[in-house]
Amino acid sequence: MSPNRQSVDRYRRHAAGYDASARRTMSLRRRAVALLDLRPGDVVLDVGAGTGLSYELLLAGVGEAGRVLAIEQSPEMFALACARIERHGWTNVWHCNAPAETVELPEPADAVLFNYVHDITRTPQAVANILRQSKPGARIAMAGMKYFPWWTGPLNLLAWAKNRPYNVRPGDMWQPWDIVETWCESFERRSTQAGMGYIARGIRRGTVD
Ligand SMILES: C[S@@+](CC[C@H](N)C(=O)[O-])C[C@H]1O[C@@H](n2cnc3c(N)ncnc32)[C@H](O)[C@@H]1O
């Protein structure tokens, strides 16, 4: 089964309880959105938007003149994001139920958010498809889980076990930011959650090889 199919199967099981399980990490979502330094009128892209937990924060940043674009491949997660939009009556969100590897975006983004989307950030084709459609100079922010330093040994079993139910590539957490980093001309990162998480920001390079 393809990694995308496996991921869709996992999120079919997680969708209903997802928002409750994500409560503990909401402060990191907020921090990642703040790193985007959004301005009124910006177009911001939420990659792997899930149930749309970041939509309200992003809309507050871009204002009424701006626009939130979002993509999400799980039909069940996407349905919850649609319900969120309807509940709030938001009109300046364009979102679509499609994989990051092949989605075509309606316009280039000024800012791109990768919040807890490990399977996407570990897939070069997905990162390339998203970032080649964003503006040169776009602000990029990301947050997620990572392994503790190697010398902490068994602690990483905990990181792996927490990641495994959600992600298809739970073993690939040493430097989960490094594919996105290759697209950036400046990149800063710091550890969170006592070393089990990271948050980062970068600027998309002006030229792409
Ligand atoms: C842990 S959730 C994060 C959701 C949201 N960004 C948040 O902060 O709550 C990861 C999401 O990425 C989506 N996803 C995984 N692989 C994807 C892909 N290749 N294309 C689009 N979405 C994908 C999953 O369906 C899931 O909704």
Identify the pLDDT of residue 170: 65
The DSSP string of 144-205 is EE-PPPGGGTTHHHHHHHHHTTT-S-TT--SSTTHHHHTTEEEEEEEEEGGGTEEEEEEEE-
Q: Is the CB of 78 under 6 A from ligand 1?
A: no
d(C-alpha 188, C-alpha 120), whole Å: 20
Q: Is the CB of residue 208 less than 8 Å from the CB of residue 183?
A: yes
Distance 194 CA to ligand 1 centre (A): 24
Q: Is the CB of 129 under 6 A from ligand 1?
A: no
Q: Please state which architecture CATH assigns to domain 3-204.
A: 3-Layer(aba) Sandwich (3.40)
d(C-alpha 143, C-alpha 156), whole Å: 18
Q: Is the CB of residue 167 less than 8 Å from the CB of residue 3?
A: no
Q: Is the CB of 122 under 6 A from ligand 1?
A: no
Identify the pLDDT of residue 77: 98
Distance 151 CA to ligand 1 centre (A): 30
The residues of the chain scoring below 70 in pLDDT are 170, 208-209
Identify the pLDDT of residue 208: 60
Distance 79 CA to ligand 1 centre (A): 13
Identify the pLDDT of residue 151: 77
CA of 126, closest atom in ligand 1: 19
pTM of the model: 0.95
Report the side by side order of strands in the sheet with 197-204: 93-96, 67-71, 43-47, 111-115, 139-145, 197-204, 184-192
Considering just the CA atoms, what is the radius of gyration of the chain in Å?
A: 16
Domain boundaries, the chain: 3-204
Mutate to test the pocket of ligand 1, among 9, 14, 46, 73 (most ligand atoms within 8 A of CB): 73
